[in-house]
Chains A and B, each alone.
Chain A
Amino acid sequence: MREGLFGAVIRTKFAEQMAYRSHFIISVIMLVIGDLVVPLVTLLVYKSGASFPGWTMHEALLIQAVFALSKGVAFPIFFGMVGTTLGHVREGTFDLLLLRPRPVMLMAMITGFDPDDFGRLFSGTVLFVYALSGMAMPGGESWLQFGLLFLASVTMLCAVSLFLSGMLFRWVGSSRVFDIFDAFTSFGMYPGTIFSKSMQNVLTYVLPVGLIAFVPAEALLGRSGWEGLWALLPAAGFLLLGMVYWNRMLRGYTSAGG
């Protein structure tokens, strides 16, 4: 039976994870709990009578659910390459990826495939269903807009993973890149309208983290309309920029001593 590259790599990665079942199960549980902390705080805020102005509890939770869903897709598929680059560049074993007759970026991405990160998809789905249960069911148009903008959201996260991974060719061994990611994206878990106008502009045009969850959630709530699809353009641009940046940084790879 002829198996494709993705099938073979994903199967192998699952086999690797299953070698330590308890680690896999604990990892998934920890990720689910970790991803539910901020929504739990949101829940407590609303239960205590406070709120994000202009947003009901279920609407605010919807943003956080979209955020978790987007990470649930992007982390297992794209973010493993950050860890792969971190380890391989420091140890000089990135050579082994360059010795494969495939695009290096693709190899870094698929060898970094991390199945336990799919736990985030589970917590996102639970939260998403809960958030939807407290509001009127969106219409088909809103779902279509949401689908497209969700794609833009995942694209954005893919671009971010390329920037972080690319940085590690020069900034060898810096595991703090994950903290940069958290600091950079945590603003995206809240309704953009709670920030000042200038901050909103920064989060939309400079560091477009609003694209990760806020913009798709707004579309699903029927608040933005078709003009909200403008977000597809910067997401594509950001991805392109990430790819160019990654390949440029790869040229600086010097391997390690023999």
Chain B
Amino acid sequence: MIEVRNLTKTYMTHERGHTLREVTRNLIRRPMKEIKAVHDLSFTVPQGEMLAFLGPNGAGKSTTLKILTGVLHPTAGEVRALGLVPWKQRRQYVGRIGAVFGQKSQLLWDIPPVDAFYMNKAIYGVPERQYQSTLNDLTELLSVGDIIRKPTRQLSLGERMKCEFIMAMLHRPEIVFLDEPTIGLDMIAKENIRHFIRSMNSQGVTFILTTHDLEDVEMLAERVIVINHGEIVVDDSLGVLRSRLGDKKSVRLTTESPVPDIRIQGITITERIGPLEIALEIDTSLLPLKRFIREFNEVYGIVDMAIDVIPIESIMKELYMDEASAESAAAKS
């Protein structure tokens, strides 16, 4: 469905200073700097997949998404999506995709979402009967009802986001690109949106998601591509990504006596929640859980304990830090 080969995007930007002297100098002369936004990306996305792009700010996720949606031209490389080259056959292509940007609204602020839907219907040339039936399905699925008839500016962020999804889905796209779709939403609104995405995905719609909300990833994505400095660091399932960092568990512990700063192989104290409550990370290949529980109970007296898999946040943090330290080592050598 989507095939990406050696995708590269570089662009030139001004190097600007912040002091008065530099700002004044910039009025006359602006040194240019080449930025490698993405470099040599290759991957494929089969139909019906739910793929998440992860990476720190400025990693190249949004640039990749913009190239895949046909908004930007790449500097080099090939992309074929739905049998088309997005930026060359843009009109044909964008009629078959949808996009939701958490930070760029497609609704019209002063008028009700239903008016904006109607405008999109005309732009996409959706037949009246199909429009009505899709709109009914989507409003029911997202439980928006009369909300779509209120001025957009009177809606809550969660309600607006639901309407953004309707806007993006009215023409029944085959691929939907989501850029931070749950940004700023409360837990209930997030859950509603995730439920909607899962439901659409079960109907065969492919979703490509970029987000910093790792809960979105855990709840939605089957596969994760981690990008850093414009290059793919990991392209695998979430399960495999977890196992890459060893057999680790996250433990939250309440003890009878305080646990001091200890140096035991396989244990890392990640947070001191209270005088008698801490969060730990245990590498069970170095320290089996059974032994950890026995020894800690003997020394500090375990009152309460919760064991969980390592949260994806920790995995990502470790991954980004590995990358950063590898880079600084390369720079030193």
Pairing of A with B: yes
Query: Which A residues fall within an 8 A CB radius of B?
Result: 1-5, 7-9, 12, 15-16, 19-20, 91-93, 95-96, 98-103, 107, 251, 254-255, 257-258
B70 at the interface (CB under 8 A from A): yes
Q: Closest residue to A101 on the B side, CB-wise?
A: B95
Is there an interface contact between B91 and A103, defined as CB atoms closer than 8 Å? Answer: yes
Interface residues of B in 63-96 (CB under 8 A from A): 63, 65-66, 69-73, 90-92, 94-95
Is there an interface contact between A12 and B91, defined as CB atoms closer than 8 Å? Answer: no
Is there an interface contact between B119 and A96, defined as CB atoms closer than 8 Å? Answer: no
Is there an interface contact between B91 and A102, defined as CB atoms closer than 8 Å? Answer: yes
Q: A4 vs B151: C-alpha distance in the bound complex, in angstroms?
A: 23
Secondary structure of the A contact surface, majority rule? loop
Interface readout for B44-77 with A: 1 if CB under 8 Å, 0 if not?
0000000000000010011101100111110000
Least Cβ–Cβ distance between B157 and chain A, in angstroms: 18
B28 at the interface (CB under 8 A from A): no
Contact of B122 among A9, A91, A103, A255 (CB under 8 A): A9
Count A-B contacts at CB 8 Å: 83
B185 at the interface (CB under 8 A from A): no
Is there an interface contact between B179 and A258, defined as CB atoms closer than 8 Å? Answer: yes
B16-24, B104-112, B200-208, B267-275 - the one binding chain A: B104-112
Q: A103 vs B91: C-alpha distance in the bound complex, in angstroms?
A: 7
Is there an interface contact between B110 and A19, defined as CB atoms closer than 8 Å? Answer: yes
Q: How large is the interface on B (under 10, 10 to 19, 20 to 34, 35 or more residues)?
A: 35 or more
Contact A258-B62, Cβ < 8 Å, known A98-B90, A101-B92: yes
Q: A59 vs B26: C-alpha distance in the bound complex, in angstroms?
A: 51
Contact of B94 among A2, A9, A99 (CB under 8 A): A99
With a CB–CB cut-off of 8 A, which chain B residues contact A100? Answer: 94, 123-124
Inter-chain pairs besides A96-B104, A100-B124, 15 sampled, C-beta below 8 Å: A3-B118, A5-B123, A8-B122, A12-B118, A15-B115, A95-B104, A98-B71, A99-B71, A101-B125, A251-B73, A254-B11, A255-B71, A255-B72, A258-B62, A258-B179
With a CB–CB cut-off of 8 A, which chain B residues contact A9? Answer: 119, 122-123
Q: A255 vs B116: C-alpha distance in the bound complex, in angstroms?
A: 23
Is there an interface contact between A1 and B128, defined as CB atoms closer than 8 Å? Answer: yes
B229 at the interface (CB under 8 A from A): no
Least Cβ–Cβ distance between A204 and chain B, in angstroms: 36
Contact of A98 among B94, B106, B111 (CB under 8 A): B94
Q: A4 vs B128: C-alpha distance in the bound complex, in angstroms?
A: 12
B228 at the interface (CB under 8 A from A): no
With a CB–CB cut-off of 8 A, which chain A residues contact B101? Answer: 95-96
Q: A196 vs B111: C-alpha distance in the bound complex, in angstroms?
A: 52
Is there an interface contact between A15 and B62, defined as CB atoms closer than 8 Å? Answer: no
Contact of B123 among A16, A20, A101 (CB under 8 A): A101
Contact of A254 among B72, B119, B121, B124 (CB under 8 A): B72
Is there an interface contact between B99 and A99, defined as CB atoms closer than 8 Å? Answer: yes
With a CB–CB cut-off of 8 A, which chain B residues contact A251? Answer: 73
Q: A107 vs B58: C-alpha distance in the bound complex, in angstroms?
A: 30
With a CB–CB cut-off of 8 A, which chain B residues contact A107? Answer: 123
Is there an interface contact between A258 and B70, defined as CB atoms closer than 8 Å? Answer: no
Query: In this complex, which of B11, B90, B122 has the most chain A Cβ atoms within 10 angstroms of its Cβ?
Result: B122
Q: A19 vs B108: C-alpha distance in the bound complex, in angstroms?
A: 11
Least Cβ–Cβ distance between A22 and chain B, in angstroms: 13
With a CB–CB cut-off of 8 A, which chain B residues contact A19? Answer: 110-111, 151
Interface residues of B in 1-45 (CB under 8 A from A): 11
Q: Closest residue to A251 on the B side, CB-wise?
A: B73
Q: Closest residue to B73 on the A side, CB-wise?
A: A251
Least Cβ–Cβ distance between A228 and chain B, in angstroms: 40
Least Cβ–Cβ distance between B99 and chain A, in angstroms: 6
With a CB–CB cut-off of 8 A, which chain A residues contact B179? Answer: 258
With a CB–CB cut-off of 8 A, which chain A residues contact B121? Answer: 8
Contact A8-B65, Cβ < 8 Å, known A16-B108, A16-B111, A96-B104: no
Q: Closest residue to B63 on the A side, CB-wise?
A: A258
| Pairs A-B, 7 closest by C-beta atoms | A258-B62, A8-B122, A101-B95, A19-B110, A12-B119, A98-B71, A95-B71
B254 at the interface (CB under 8 A from A): no
Is there an interface contact between B70 and A96, defined as CB atoms closer than 8 Å? Answer: no
Q: A91 vs B128: C-alpha distance in the bound complex, in angstroms?
A: 33
Interface residues of B in 100-158 (CB under 8 A from A): 101, 104, 106, 108, 110-111, 115-116, 118-119, 121-125, 127-128, 151
Least Cβ–Cβ distance between A95 and chain B, in angstroms: 5
With a CB–CB cut-off of 8 A, which chain B residues contact A12? Answer: 108, 111, 115-116, 118-119
With a CB–CB cut-off of 8 A, which chain A residues contact B90? Answer: 98
Least Cβ–Cβ distance between A34 and chain B, in angstroms: 24
With a CB–CB cut-off of 8 A, which chain A residues contact B104? Answer: 91-93, 95-96
Least Cβ–Cβ distance between B11 and chain A, in angstroms: 6
Contact A101-B91, Cβ < 8 Å, known A8-B121, A96-B106: yes
